[in-house]
Chains A and B, each alone.
Chain A
Amino acid sequence: MTDTATTAPETPKKTTLTVTIDGVAMEANPGELLIAAAERTGTYIPRFCWHPRMKEVGMCRMCLVEVSGPRGMSLQPACMQPCAEGMVVDTKSAMVKKAQDGVLEFLLVNHPLDCPVCDKGGECPLQDQTLTFGPGESRFVEEKRHNEKPIPISDLVLLDRERCILCDRCTRFSKEVAGDPLIHFINRGNTTEVNTFPDDPFASYFSGNVVQICPVGALTASPYRFAARPWDLDQVESTCTSCAVGCRVVVQSSGDEITRLQGVDSDPVNWGWLCDKGRFDFEAVSSPSRLSAPLVRAARGAAPEKVSWSAAMTRIATALRTYQPSEIGFIGGARLTNEDQYAYVRLAKQVLRTDNVDAQLADGLTPDAWLGFPKATINDLATAGAIVLLGPDIKEELPVLFLRLRDAAVTKKVPVVEFAAAPTGVSPYAAESVRYRPGEVALAVKAVMAAAAGSSAERQIGGVEADSINAAGAILAKAIVSGKKVVVLLGRASMAEPDRAFVEAALAVSAASSDVVVLPAMRRANLHGALDMGMAPGLLPGRVTHGEGGAWFAAHWGAGPSNPGLDTAAMLEAAAAGTIKALVLLGADPVADFVDRDLAERGLMGAELVVAIDTLPNASNTHAHVMLPAAGFGEKSGTTTNLEGRVTVLSSKVSAPGTARPDWMIATELASMLGTDFGYETVGDITDDIAATVPTHAGATRAELRRPANADGIVVPVPTEASTPSADAADPSVEENAEPRPPSVAAPKPLRVRAVDGVVPQPDSYSLRLITGRVLYDQGSIVQASSSLAKLARPASVRLHSGEIERHAMHPGDVIRVVSQTGELALTIEVDDHLPRGVAFVPWNLADRGANTLINVGELAADGITKVRLESGRS
């Protein structure tokens, strides 16, 4: 029985093997599966169950080929056969042909052949392979197996068991990849079927992937059911902008409407997977509530009226001319393209000379913390010595990054140390979960790093038991001496704590070793691009400060602002106080998203002119004097930058509604009306201007991004040796049009992280410490404009430990008042005994009025925490 293992001749160490497929010798890598090696070298072996991103099972038997062995040629499944030196393979022999014919006939025995009404028809591997490899007709005259036609297995996915060929792809995905083992084989033999347990639906954030990988029409997703036929679809490759992971997607449309998104296997990013929010929130693109024409209000509170673009733009330009630079502020822009952002930064900083620009709503981290640490890539997770989670629940905020992290932890056995005040989606995979008391993360991290350096904790620190500190310290100590990277996923774990606490904690980890690299767990799709383009007070494009980059940009733009401007919180304070007169909201909704709702409302009320440029109406728009409709995802092209700093291409596929137009056009036209001609005629002009002007983006030109070798995007800054595009790929006309770089000015030095001083909270014993984090399906405008996703948002609740509920003489299910120093919310009590006592968890944006109702920026700054009390009864 070991003969197969021992017959491979002992060969001197060779990095590749030689395998002969259909008479042609080819190189294969040791351990490479025959099916993959054959495909790589141009021989397609048919298959249903095998998927390159999942473990092989050898179930469907479609890939049977003849393989040489000790007893001569025999039929073997190519998906389970590792290549061996000297292996001879025949994929086209009569025996192979008969076996493939036979397998297809067997698969069709119980298949309903309802192709004319099946969504998969036209793109169905079973259909295609039957045509290519299968018999012309079936000899099966018996009654086929019958099942109830599609049964819902979740809110989004339906299962037609009659069509299923039992390839184990969906079940393997749910168990192996997503870690949500909610669908299984039940029964056996010919009655085997895929199903869920009763009353336990396939409620996974990744359920749409099983629809994409199903080789037949057994699994369908409700947003695409009967929406189009594959041959009517037109498609373009693009990047998902639901979050900052930047998954590669194919956007498919029919009749100028987006019908479906499919994941593209991008090796450094998403491996073909998408989360359900990213896959299905394209529904918001064609939402009837889209803004489609400019609207103005004669006065605050008046009904908006449709006007022409020229009237709206004239009103804005006229008003802006009357204000001093310091009286104008720009808020938002983190979801726009790099080109939109660059155009707005030029409008604000070059034309209007205001530095009051902030892409964040005090819900993230300071730009130096996002950009100033040595950067990690997503691929670094798999080879790291340890992963430190010092941010939000990435399963809720960056779902596909969660899949990659889960793979690193489960498959590659990389230990994960999680610092989180409340349990997260990563907790089940963490080697150690350090549960710090809200507000005391820096204390906890410092204690762990001290333990890693040899001084063990002997008592509880920051609410963390000494055992947990020492266990986490031991993992990190081992990782640090291993010489491998330590990847920190850094982000804002809770909006009820100030950002500096997390920066202070990250600095403590970073100080331990030069091998510590940081992957910013930023949520908004293009926050990285926004900061790269200078959408923050004190920053200029290219991750430089005014001090470092002032001369460089003065050479390009003429003199700009020299003093750092105001961040969003300060702008809103200033607007409330009347010192900022005009606020421009770039796809931003401060009322829902700014940490302090009360301040957001006061700020918007205080401004003389509020301009909202957006795709969908939101709570802040009610304060806007002018609303401009912007083109959204799938309607505009350009580039976007993911959390690694990877610049990828966004493509337009459908027309924007009404007269909505891309943001860069709006910025360019406003600049022109205010007297500055940017010279941009197409979005590509801006891409090339960025590559030519912004030092970090040198090399990320249109021509380079179009090269097939750069299909996965370009991580900026591009290493210098690769920064010169090859002569054949470069488009000389682009080079001519690009702005010449002034040779006399040295490139500015990049941003560094500034040290911060934390505050240790000292709350009174009557208060609970508030934790608030985002959930995937919330009351955000895009989710709510996507009909399939809107219903998945759960009712608002406050999660408490049962002991805490008891101490307050309350009961699960009670609607109670959660009261802070600035506001209160009526919420239903939900038990969560994974939470420590003394804390209350309120999801960020689930109620009509979100958790930001409870947060006060002053309290955050002074106390380092948000305190709440629980009170019975409705207010």
Chain B
Amino acid sequence: MPAPTKMISTRWDQADGHTLNGYLRTGGYEALRKALAMNPDAVVDEVKAANLAGRGGAGFPCGTKWSFLPKDIFPRYLVVNGDESEPGTYKDRLLMERDPHQLIEGVLIASWAIKAEQAFIYIRGEMPHAHERVAAALNEAYAAGYIGKNICGTDWSMDVVLHWGAGAYIVGEETALIESLEGNRGMPRLKPPFFPASKGLYMQPTVVNNVETLANLPWIISNGAAAFTSFGNEKNTGTRLFAVSGHVKNPGVFEVEFGTTTFRELFYDFCGGIREDRTVKAFIPGGGSAPWFFEEDLDTQLDAGVVGGKGSMLGSGAIVVMDDTTDMVKAAWRLVKFFAKESCGKCSPCREGTNWMEKIYRRILDGEGRPEDVALLLDVADNISPGLTWPPKQTTICPLGPSAAAGALVSSIRRFPVEYDHYIVHGRPIDGVSTGIYRPSLAPAS
């Protein structure tokens, strides 16, 4: 059994890990001092050498993202995406609640590297505890001179603004987050032309980084890129946090070496196996948006490229396990309902299409399905995401609607057509699957 590899979750079990004292006692802010002694470009090079992939979902190399900033345009901003809302994801929450100074140190290192003098931390509205902890840590860091004027005695000054979101999944999308931060409705902007690197926050060059991505920076600066790349495999360096939920005995967030561990090891070794020692019927490998994996995929490595090659994504590291009693129609409905509810309302296909699909599902689950409904679901989905391929093509600005269409819906229909047919013919699920606690007809209309 592979041992956990702790790089960024070292203070989670430390009672005072979230305080400045607890952080300093365990080597906190040493990496910042080291970075401030380096040329900013050297910091960028170090992060590039570490091949640190973004941990928010898309997996774009962090150093490369930074180097997209146009050379001479100032001010430029760092925006921290702490709007962690993907169904199944709760790793950034722990990073913010249990080790906020590590994040802040990462923010400072990144800001130094990209020559930003203002950073914004955007925290999801449903995470008041994370908000409190980060706010307290920021106050401590300001008081101790790690943020503000002449940081650590240098000529460099910068400020960090904390913003508490209002609870919209879409704001996890970087351009919608920027809109929200500017005080507008959280609705995505079209890329191009609004790539944050050139036209971001307040139309200035902006880097948007995920919490976990930034939390890796102190380790990389302290220990060097070479040490970082010794973990994981060639393309997946360092560690990753995986949030496992669903039908496992011991759900939680686990830090494992990136790219080498398999799903089977994660479920059976780290999570203690499937509840009641049942079998895996399906699992979501990378958050509610991702197409599903099944039993035969258990030995796949937690490697972004490999998972992507098999038609899904590792995404934000949110894994949801469904055992053999799970109603696959209802599971797909629950995810489609999430996207219908979280659609921002900007693009017609997503706004109307996700809602339409959800209503068809509800009708099927209520025993009112028609034989043509499965084909209809697929065609409505196809009008949101032409071709229903992965990664999804889109008739919309952002991938929210297309994920609802080409993710859970397609996976469950293609793999479990029998369960749909059974609902349509008999008005109830096939034998042996749980009817669960949801009665769709009682669910409030969205």
Contact = CB atoms under 8 A, between A and B. Distances in A.
30 contacts: A2-B195, A5-B192, A5-B195, A57-B346, A58-B347, A58-B397, A59-B347, A60-B348, A61-B347, A61-B349, A61-B396, A62-B348, A74-B393, A75-B395, A80-B190, A99-B386, A99-B395, A103-B383, A103-B395, A106-B356, A109-B352, A109-B355, A142-B359, A166-B351, A189-B341, A190-B345, A190-B351, A191-B446, A192-B345, A192-B351
Given A80-B190, A95-B386, A142-B360, A189 B395 contact: no
Interface in A15-72: 57-62, 64
Given A2-B195, A75-B386, A107 B345 contact: no
Nearest to B191: A1
A174 to B, nearest CB: 15
Nearest to A193: B345
A140 B356 contact: yes
Interface in B20-44: none
A1 B195 contact: yes
A188 B348 contact: no
**Interface class of chain A by DSSP:** mixed
A188 B395 contact: no
Given A75-B394, A188-B344, A189-B354, 8 more contacts: A1-B68, A5-B192, A5-B198, A59-B348, A61-B349, A99-B383, A106-B348, A189-B355
Given A2-B197, A103-B348, A106-B352, A189 B343 contact: yes
Contact of B395 (A5, A57, A61, A187): A61
Contacts of B353: 102, 106
Nearest to B188: A58
Contacts of A139: 376
Contacts of A109: 352, 355-356
B340 interface: yes
B203 to A, nearest CB: 13
A110 interface: yes
A-B residue pairs, 9 tightest by C-beta: A102-B383, A192-B345, A106-B352, A190-B355, A189-B343, A142-B359, A109-B352, A106-B348, A188-B345
A77 B348 CA distance: 12
Contacts of B195: 1-2, 5
Given A61-B395, A188-B345, A192-B345, A107 B352 contact: yes
A59 B349 CA distance: 10
A749 to B, nearest CB: 52
Given A185-B345, A190-B355, A192-B351, A105 B383 contact: yes
A581 to B, nearest CB: 68
Nearest to A110: B352
Interface in A135-185: 139-140, 142-143, 165-166, 185
Contacts of B68: 1-2
Contacts of A80: 190, 193
A98 interface: yes
Contacts of B340: 189-190
Interface in B359-395: 359-360, 363, 376, 382-384, 386, 393-395
Contact of B168 (A60, A142, A185, A188): A188
Contacts of A185: 185, 345
B140 interface: no
Contacts of A875: none
B46 interface: no
Nearest to B339: A189
Interface range on chain B (Cβ under 8 Å from partner): 35 or more
Nearest to A4: B192
B161 to A, nearest CB: 25
Contacts of A102: 349, 353, 382-384, 395
B446 to A, nearest CB: 7
A4 B68 CA distance: 13
B324 interface: no
A62 B197 CA distance: 28
Interface string B187-228: 000111101011000000000000000000000000000000
Nearest to A192: B345
Interface of A: 1-2, 4-5, 57-62, 64, 74-75, 77, 80, 82, 95, 98-99, 101-103, 105-107, 109-110, 139-140, 142-143, 165-166, 185, 187-192
Contacts of A110: 352
Contacts of B342: 189
B365 to A, nearest CB: 13
A190 B343 contact: yes
Given A99-B395, A109-B356, A139-B376, A61 B348 contact: yes
A80 B351 CA distance: 19
A98 B379 CA distance: 10
B344 A64 contact: no
A188 B351 CA distance: 9
Contacts of B382: 98, 102
Contacts of A166: 345, 348, 351
A717 B443 CA distance: 72
Contacts of B190: 58, 77, 80
Contacts of B383: 98-99, 101-103, 105-106
A5 B190 CA distance: 14
Chain B CB within 10 Å, residue with most, of A166, A189, A192? A189
A839 B416 CA distance: 80
B207 to A, nearest CB: 12
Nearest to A184: B185
A58 to B, nearest CB: 5
B117 to A, nearest CB: 23
Nearest to B70: A2
Contacts of B363: 142
A281 B287 CA distance: 59
Contacts of A75: 386, 393-395
A188 B383 CA distance: 21
A140 B373 CA distance: 11
A37 B315 CA distance: 39
A109 B348 CA distance: 10
Contacts of A99: 383, 386, 395
A74 B393 CA distance: 9
A850 to B, nearest CB: 44
B446 A190 contact: yes
A740 to B, nearest CB: 61
Nearest to A69: B192
B348 A64 contact: no
A139 B353 CA distance: 12
Interface in B255-297: none
A670 B115 CA distance: 83
A578 B347 CA distance: 74
A75 B395 CA distance: 7
Interface string B168-182: 100000000000000
A176 to B, nearest CB: 13
A499 B113 CA distance: 64
Contacts of A62: 348
Contact of B352 (A5, A57, A64, A190): A190
Contacts of B393: 74-75
Chain A CB within 10 Å, residue with most, of B197, B393, B396? B396
A142 B393 CA distance: 27
Contacts of B354: 189-190
A732 B347 CA distance: 57
B395 A1 contact: no
Contacts of A98: 382-383, 386
Interface string B127-166: 0000000000000000000000000000000000000000
A248 to B, nearest CB: 32
Contacts of A106: 348-349, 351-353, 356, 383
Chain A CB within 10 Å, residue with most, of B185, B193, B348? B348
B443 to A, nearest CB: 14
Contacts of A107: 348, 352
B385 to A, nearest CB: 10
Given A58-B190, A75-B393, A189 B351 contact: yes
